[in-house]
Amino acid sequence: NLSDKLDKALHVLKGHGQITEINVAETTKEVRRALLDADVNFKIAKEFTNRVKEKALGQNVLTTLQPGQLMVKIVKDELTQLMGGESEGINLSGNPSVILMTGLQGSGKTTFSGKLANFLKTKKSKKPLLVACDVYRPAAIDQLHVVGDQIGVPVYSDRENNDPVAIAQAGIAKAKAEGYNVVIIDTAGRLAVDEKMMAEISDIHKGIQPQETLFVVDSMTGQDAVNTAKAFNDILNFDGVILTKLDGDTRGGAAISIKSVVDKPIKFIGTGEKMEAIDVFYPSRMADRILGMGDVISLVERAQEQFDEEEARKIQKKIAKNKFGFDDFLSQIQQIKKMGNMKDLMGMIPGAGKALKGLDIDDDAFKHIEAIIYSMTPEERSTPSKLDASRKKRIAKGAGREVQEINQLLKQFDQMSKMMKMMQGGGGKKMMQMMGA
């Protein structure tokens, strides 16, 4: 699904601390592909990723400490905006408030009529009346009665009448007479957009002038959903969209495209067949869901936990006292290795990349470094300045390495201690926090 795909796209950024312009471009390309795969309209996907790219470069993602997270945030914010920003309620100002349900056959109109009636009754203390205007199939009227019985909401129907406009009007009259303050009109849909259906829904719309015309769409229908939404909106200029069947293998793409194409808010979502499976649509929650933010965040948290807090505190003290030695160097490297690629990690620290250029530690090199450090006396480890030529020779022999490598390690150690000191200042505070200090 879209969430997985975006996750994969953003993986590039999670793995690599440092974001370059090239990899912002690469990542947004991946995001675009993910959106397209989820049936988001091509033009929308392109505009979207262009905006993300612009923002990412504008907000200095390149120099930030955790570029992956900032990038995810930018993508999330943009997605939220794209789906409408704030959540919008429905207009209940009429007396009674008339709500007209529209959409294709099978989109979930009848089910949602019941869900909405139940929601307004239980959550908003309204007194709703359901009206059955699907006159083509007797079963459709039965279905609405079953739903009404389930939630304890009366249903107005007239099996003798085959004029949906007249039935709708009679339903509203009944509501007025009997004190119902919300009327929900369930209508007939067809399998695809056709003139007859459009003419009928347009007649009902004109005949009752509802406060709220809702377009119900099956979120699994992908790109088709967008075309259908456009066709209904052209005729009805509807007030909001209901996205149903978001419980299955979700194609979040519909939510993104419909809002951009018809510029109408998504108001509710359906998440199952039961009457309780209705939720107010919150753009930011939907964006979270699409992005699988929880995963990204927990990934970062896990990485941070792997730094042993106790160890970090000890080392910090030593750095402060200028007593950072080879033992600390070793444990520091061991800590960092637990988190994965050291170069990537260090790349997250602004300015540290340069100091660490020579410190490319692969597994083998790491074993050699360990061997060298273990060949030192405790005194040599804590006071590396003591390492003269003859000591170096002895250590090299003990570790089975060349003296040249000892020199190289000393140089790296020097760079590392310098960096550690540097990080005691302002720029490194975040790094120390990350180490749990």
Judged by beta carbon, residue 110 or residue 244, the one nearer Mg ion is 110
Q: Indicate whether 187 belongs to the interface with ligand GDP (CB under 6 A).
A: no
CB atoms within 10 A of CB 253: 26
Q: Are 83 and 287 in contact (CB under 8 A)?
A: yes
Could you give the CA distance from residue 205 to residue 261 in angstroms, rounded to a whole number?
22
3-state secondary structure of 42: helix
Helix axes 21-37, 42-58, angle to 10 degrees: 150
Residues in binding contact with ligand GDP, number by CB under 6 A = 18
Take residue 94 and report the two structure tokens written for it: 């009429």
Which H helix or E strand runs over 71? helix 67-82
Instruction: For the segment 273-292, give every residue that binds ligand GDP (CB under 6 A).
Output: 273, 277
3-state secondary structure of 31: helix
Instruction: For the segment 372-391, give every residue that binds ligand GDP (CB under 6 A).
Output: none
Task: Give CA separation, 134 vs 108, 230, 356, in Å.
Answer: 13, 22, 72
Judged by beta carbon, residue 140 or residue 349, the one nearer ligand GDP is 140
Q: Is 110 annotated as a binding residue?
A: yes
Task: Give CA separation, 238 vs 80, 100, 229, 262, 433, in Å.
Answer: 22, 9, 9, 9, 52
Residue nearest to Mg ion (CB): 110
Of 118, 123, 142, give the one whose Cα is nearest residue 132.
142
Q: Is 103 annotated as a binding residue?
A: yes
Binding mask 237-256 for ligand GDP (x = CB under 6 A): -------xx-xx--------
The torsion of the CA quartet 173, 178, 181, 187, rounded to 10 degrees, works out to -50
Which of 67, 68, 96, 108 is the binder for ligand GDP (CB under 6 A)? 108
Q: Are 130 and 154 in contact (CB under 8 A)?
A: yes
Could you give the CA distance from residue 406 to residue 351 in angstroms, rounded to a whole number?
26
Judged by beta carbon, residue 140 or residue 348, the one nearer ligand GDP is 140
Judged by beta carbon, residue 129 or residue 287, the one nearer Mg ion is 129
3-state secondary structure of 350: coil
Residue 182 C-beta: closest distance to ligand GDP, Å? 19
Q: Is 244 annotated as a binding residue?
A: yes
Of 40, 14, 17, give the one whose Cα is nearest residue 348.
17
Which of 27, 110, 213, 271 is the binder for Mg ion (CB under 5 A)? 110
Residue nearest to ligand GDP (CB): 270
Q: Indicate whether 228 belongs to the interface with Mg ion (CB under 5 A).
A: no
Q: Which does 67 bind (CB under 5 to 8 A by kind): ligand GDP, Mg ion, none?
A: none
Q: Indicate whether 110 belongs to the interface with ligand GDP (CB under 6 A).
A: yes
Q: How far apart are the first and last CA of the chain?
A: 39
Q: What is the β-pairing status of strands 182-187 and 278-280?
A: unpaired
Q: Are 224 and 251 in contact (CB under 8 A)?
A: no
Take residue 249 and report the two structure tokens written for it: 């293998």
Q: Indicate whether 157 belongs to the interface with ligand GDP (CB under 6 A).
A: no
Q: Is 270 annotated as a binding residue?
A: no
Judged by beta carbon, residue 273 or residue 305, the one nearer ligand GDP is 273
What residue has token string 């570790």? 399
Which H helix or E strand runs over 398? helix 389-399
Residue 137 C-beta: closest distance to ligand GDP, Å? 9
Q: Which stretch binds Mg ion (CB under 5 A): 101-109, 262-270, 291-299, 359-367?
A: 101-109
Q: Indicate whether 107 belongs to the interface with Mg ion (CB under 5 A).
A: no
Q: Which does 244 bind (CB under 5 to 8 A by kind): ligand GDP, Mg ion, none?
A: ligand GDP
Beta bridge partners of 242: 216, 268
Q: Indicate whether 49 belongs to the interface with Mg ion (CB under 5 A).
A: no
Which of 68, 84, 270, 292 is the binder for ligand GDP (CB under 6 A)? 270
Q: Is 109 annotated as a binding residue?
A: yes
Which residues have C-beta within 8 Å of that of residue 307, sequence separation ≥ 6? 335, 338, 339, 434, 435, 436
Judged by beta carbon, residue 104 or residue 293, the one nearer ligand GDP is 104
Judged by beta carbon, residue 87 or residue 341, the one nearer ligand GDP is 87
Judged by beta carbon, residue 121 or residue 190, the one nearer Mg ion is 190
Q: Which does 111 bind (CB under 5 to 8 A by kind): ligand GDP, Mg ion, none?
A: ligand GDP
Residue 257 C-beta: closest distance to ligand GDP, Å? 19
Q: Is 188 annotated as a binding residue?
A: yes
Q: Which residues bind ligand GDP (CB under 6 A)?
A: 103, 105-111, 189, 244-245, 247-248, 270-273, 277
The annotation places the binding site for GTP at 103-110, 186-190, 244-247
Q: Which residues bind Mg ion (CB under 5 A)?
A: 109-110
